């Protein structure tokens, strides 16, 4: 009963009530030859019933899926009106049951215009306002706010008293507050401004700023000086908070970019920092991880979420095995010869790029983001956080923690640290240094592959993907301190944040230049980086 009261528009009550299914079919039949103005009155009568079963009819008319079958002049909803279909599947508009199919030639679409579609969206939103899904109710409120009238205000007031979701309730209160700004009572306008000051949505700020604008004759849009002062204070407060949350959002974006840098650089910190190998093919190992993600989604097209999860160990194995092969066949003959190592790995990077061009072509490939990583978290009207960036930040921290555990708490980690500090002594103690070298290089390469999985969620996958990050990853390792994982973490996050803070003012290219110049100046003062090695590791590097 309450639903019927809420959903019945007042002006529609003047129309004869639709008491049964037969009446509904008769009214629907009138749509066949009605003008656009008459169609608007017809949909008003239908919605006045307050019956949720009317919503699919209104929605179908809005989406151009309501047709007349010319052979018997009956109205049907079609399941899909795709132009490629020659036969359309029919749905009865009253019972919503299947009604067979009909040739497109025997069907005529019931047309709409902009005014009718606008009214249909508002009527559909009224039905959605009492739906079970909070997201649908929120969208309904936002649609109603686009065309506020006395009926809509009464509807929102009635809903605000029973709305269980805080977000939907807040949006309703915003709508009521915006409507109160048009009140002839100054006290009501002042109370509305006080309530709206607590919200940070752009439409609220713009509406309040509109009260301060001057009209063509030189006067103010708002005649009451007290209301203008309150509006000016509210706009100032909203601007201050929006600026603050804008900085917070920029910091979040910087942390997400820095997290990718950490994932890329932490593998390089092992091969370059621990082994002293300048691996110019590190970016291409990351590229292999990104292509592995693409292949996993091709293999599991109906299970995108599972594919992205399984791509993590798969990318680690593919890139790790490639790294082990690279170390056993090339790198192990070049230890202690940095120039030859640099040239050799640069050649390997070109080979890997050409390999993926031959297999996948030179075109970029897109990797689909799973549903649980899509969307945004709306914190307030001025701050929203993208879920995929949040997942990347958490993922990079988890990978970093696992890597730290491996190096500090496992036999492999102990062997890696022993060989990196004193190779001759470690070999004398029975450690197989050749095996440790291969596993170390494979571990660093595998982490690069995992970074490729993360990076595939931000950008397209292509043969040149690794070249965009190899220089930045070297900068992170040098800035944080060669061979220090904590330095890599702090350095990567710091560089990501600084880069994002500079970009709005200097542009992407100039921001990179500023960061590079700042790094050069920093290294001149602190040549061992932010967290220099201490103890025997420092003596070995020296």
What is the phi/psi pair of residue 110, to 5°? -85, 115
Is the model's pTM score more than 0.85? no
Helix (H) or strand (E) holding 66: strand 66-69
| Alpha-carbon dihedral angle through residues 440, 441, 446, 449, given to the nearest 10 degrees | 150
Two tokens at 207? 């509406």
Cα dihedral value 292, 375, 131, 38, nearest 10: -100
pLDDT of residue 542: 46
| Phi, psi torsion values for 198, nearest 5 degrees | -80, -10
290 & 173 share domain? no
In a domain, 414, yes or no: yes
Q: Is 371 domain-assigned?
A: no
User: Is 173 inside a domain boundary?
Assistant: yes
Looking at the domain assignment, is residue 374 inside a domain?
no
Q: How many domains does the chain have?
A: 3
At 28 the pLDDT is 81
Flag whether 504 is in a domain. yes
Domain CATH number, residue 328: 1.10.3470
Specify whether 517 is located in the same domain as 426: yes
Same domain assignment for residues 358 and 405: yes
Place of tokens 């965009």: 468
What pLDDT does 419 receive?
84
Flag whether 238 is in a domain.
no
Last residue of a domain, one of 83, 117, 151: 117
Q: Do 312 and 333 reside in the same domain of the chain?
A: yes
Q: How does pLDDT run along the chain (542 residues), one tens digit per residue?
A: 334 434 444 444 344 444 455 577 788 888 888 888 888 888 888 877 777 778 888 888 888 888 888 888 888 888 888 877 878 888 888 888 888 888 888 888 888 888 888 888 888 887 888 778 888 888 888 877 777 777 778 878 888 888 888 888 888 888 888 888 877 788 888 888 888 888 888 888 888 888 888 877 777 777 788 888 888 999 999 999 999 999 999 999 999 989 989 988 988 888 876 677 888 999 999 999 999 999 999 999 888 889 999 999 999 999 999 999 999 999 988 888 888 988 999 999 999 999 999 999 888 888 888 888 888 888 887 888 999 899 999 999 999 999 999 988 899 888 888 887 788 888 888 888 889 989 999 999 999 999 999 989 888 899 988 888 888 888 888 888 877 888 899 999 999 999 888 888 888 788 888 888 888 898 888 888 887 766 554 444 44
Domain contains 231:
no
Q: Are 210 and 258 in the same domain?
A: no
Q: Is the dihedral of CA 168, 169, 174, 179 positive or negative?
A: positive
Residues 66 and 159 in one domain: no
Do residues 405 and 447 share a domain?
yes
Helix axes 282-299, 225-268, angle to 10 degrees: 110
Give me the sign of the Cα torsion angle 409, 410, 416, 421: positive
Based on the fold, state whether residues 439 and 417 are members of the same structural domain.
yes
Looking at the structure, tell me whether residues 340 and 466 fall in a common domain: yes
Domain that holds residue 254: 247-366+385-541
Cα 426 to Cα 410: distance, rounded to the nearest angstrom = 16
Could you tell me if 402 and 440 lie in one domain? yes
SS3 content of the chain, % helix, strand, coil (to 5): 70, 5, 25
Q: Which of 69, 85, 117 is the last residue of a domain?
A: 117
- What is d(CA 406, CA 274) in angstroms, rounded to the nearest whole number? 14
Q: Is residue 29 part of a domain?
A: yes
Q: Are residues 216 and 305 in the same domain?
A: no
* C-alpha to C-alpha distance for 396 and 258, rounded to whole angstroms: 10
The pLDDT score that the predictor gives to residue 42 is 86
CA distances from 299 to 93, 239, 291, 337, 469 (A): 41, 49, 12, 42, 28
Domain boundary among 91, 117, 143: 117
**Do 277 and 325 lie in a common domain?**
yes
């Amino acid at each position: 009963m309450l639903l019927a009261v809420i959903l019945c528009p007042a002006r529609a009550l003047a129309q004869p009530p639709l008491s049964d299914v037969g009446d509904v079919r008769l009214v629907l039949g009138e749509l066949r030859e009605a003008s656009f103005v008459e169609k608007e009155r017809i949909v008003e009568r239908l919605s006045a019933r307050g019956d949720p079963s009317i919503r699919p009819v209104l929605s179908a008319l809005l989406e151009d899926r309501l047709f007349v079958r010319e052979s018997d002049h009956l109205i049907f909803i079609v399941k899909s009106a795709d132009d490629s279909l020659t036969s359309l599947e029919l749905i009865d508009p009253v019972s919503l049951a299947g009604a067979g199919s009909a040739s497109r030639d025997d069907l005529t679409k019931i047309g709409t215009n902009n005014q009718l579609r606008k009214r249909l969206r508002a009527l559909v939103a009224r039905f959605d306002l009492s739906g079970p899904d909070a997201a649908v109710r929120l969208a309904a409120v936002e649609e109603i706010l686009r065309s506020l009238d006395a009926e809509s205000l009464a509807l929102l007031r009635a809903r605000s008293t029973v709305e269980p979701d805080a977000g939907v309730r807040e949006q309703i209160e915003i709508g009521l507050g915006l409507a109160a700004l048009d009140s002839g009572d100054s006290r009501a306008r002042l109370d509305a401004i006080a309530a709206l000051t607590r919200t940070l949505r752009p439409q609220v700020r713009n509406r309040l700023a509109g009260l301060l604008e001057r009209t063509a004759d030189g006067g103010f849009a708002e005649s009451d000086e007290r209301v203008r002062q309150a509006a000016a204070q509210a706009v100032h407060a909203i601007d201050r908070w929006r600026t603050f949350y804008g900085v917070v959002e920029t910091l979040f974006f910087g942390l997400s970019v820095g997290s990718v840098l950490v994932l890329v650089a932490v593998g390089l910190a092992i091969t370059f920092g621990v082994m002293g190998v300048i691996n110019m093919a590190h970016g291409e190992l990351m590229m292999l991880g990104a292509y592995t993600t693409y292949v996993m989604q091709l293999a599991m097209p109906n299970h995108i979420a599972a594919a992205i999860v399984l791509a993590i160990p798969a990318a680690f194995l593919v890139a790790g095995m490639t790294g082990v092969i690279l170390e056993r066949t090339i790198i192990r003959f070049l230890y202690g010869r940095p120039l030859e190592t640099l040239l050799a790995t640069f050649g390997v990077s070109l080979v890997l790029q050409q390999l993926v061009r031959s297999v996948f072509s030179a075109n970029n490939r897109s990797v689909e983001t799973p549903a649980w990583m899509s969307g945004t978290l709306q914190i307030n009207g001025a701050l929203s956080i993208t879920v995929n960036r949040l997942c990347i930040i958490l993922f990079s921290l988890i990978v970093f923690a696992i890597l730290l555990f491996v190096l500090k708490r496992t036999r492999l980690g102990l062997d890696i640290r022993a060989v990196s500090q004193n190779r001759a002594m470690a070999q004398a103690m029975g450690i197989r240094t050749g095996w440790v070298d291969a596993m170390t290089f494979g571990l660093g390469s595998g982490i690069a592959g995992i970074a490729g999985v993360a990076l595939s969620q931000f950008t397209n996958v292509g043969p040149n993907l690794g070249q965009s990050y190899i220089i930045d990853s070297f900068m992170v390792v040098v800035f944080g301190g060669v061979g220090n994982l904590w330095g890599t973490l702090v350095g990567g996050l710091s560089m990501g944040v600084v880069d994002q803070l500079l970009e709005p003012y200097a542009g992407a290219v100039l921001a990179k230049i500023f960061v590079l110049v700042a790094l050069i100046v920093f290294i001149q003062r602190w040549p061992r980086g932010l967290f220099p090695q201490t103890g025997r590791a420092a003596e070995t590097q020296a």
